[in-house]
Chain A
Amino acid sequence: NAGVTQTPKFQVLKTGQSMTLQCAQDMNHNSMYWYRQDPGMGLRLIYYSASEGTTDKGEVPNGYNVSRLNKREFSLRLESAAPSQTSVYFCASSGTGESPLHFGNGTRLTVT
């Protein structure tokens, strides 16, 4: 089973460039999430989508936008990348808001 699939696995951007991180899940989950992971800070929620057609801000949404394209796919866009956005980005999904999250393997982003 694929579970949660993220692309790309690695990306290097220059300051000011834009890019979209893709995420797809095949578990028929309703909810999807984007987290960033930085050393010593655990996982912090950027945006989430409780169900298809809805998105909401998390703890650290500034500099990001999201699109819930359909039930399977949830993308994260950086319009103008900054060095502070260098991080590992994880997409996750869950059946409901009370269900445990299932994570993808991450996208390692470096902004120079």
Chain B
Amino acid sequence: GQQLNQSPQSMFIQEGEDVSMNCTSSSIFNTWLWYKQDPGEGPVLLIALYKAGELTSNGRLTAQFGITRKDSFLNISASIPSDVGIYFCAGLGAGGTSYGKLTFGQGTILTVHP
């Protein structure tokens, strides 16, 4: 099946620092999604990207859909303690029916020190 490589696996940063994480794949995706998971809860959608080259912001978050359709990055500016959590990228496969073809990265664990 399709594989997503998400990096880094974990990050320890100081409050106020900027954060960058990315996902790469050998396969093409039609849609890239970024989710955040707080402890004890389910993933929550942060940003959805639907076109190659698309750059989308949501407050302090910015994400881009790579031109090759095989990668995406997420940036968080001026981090705050509530940014702590696990961030997942997810790609929706190209071709045919999309049902069940959402592939998740392994997650980036973010820790923010006050």
CB within 8 Å of B: which residues of A? 4, 31, 33, 40-45, 48, 50, 56, 58-59, 90, 92, 97-98, 100-106
Whether the Cβ atoms of B42 and A98 lie closer than 8 Å is: no
Q: What total count of A-B pairs have CB within 8 Å?
A: 60
State in angstroms the CA–CA spacing of A40 and B88 once bound together. Answer: 12
Whether the Cβ atoms of B45 and A43 lie closer than 8 Å is: no
B30-41 vs A, Cβ < 8 Å mask (1 yes, 0 no): 110101000011
CB within 8 Å of A: which residues of B? 1, 4, 6, 30-31, 33, 35, 40-45, 48, 88, 90, 92, 97-102, 104-107
Whether the Cβ atoms of A31 and B104 lie closer than 8 Å is: no
State in angstroms the CA–CA spacing of A92 and B42 once bound together. Answer: 9
- Given the known interface contacts A98-B31, A102-B45, A103-B44, the answer about A50 and B99 at a Cβ–Cβ threshold of 8 Å is yes
Smallest CB–CB gap between B7 and chain A, Å? 13
Q: Which residues of B contact A58 (CB under 8 A)?
A: 100
Whether the Cβ atoms of B106 and A40 lie closer than 8 Å is: yes
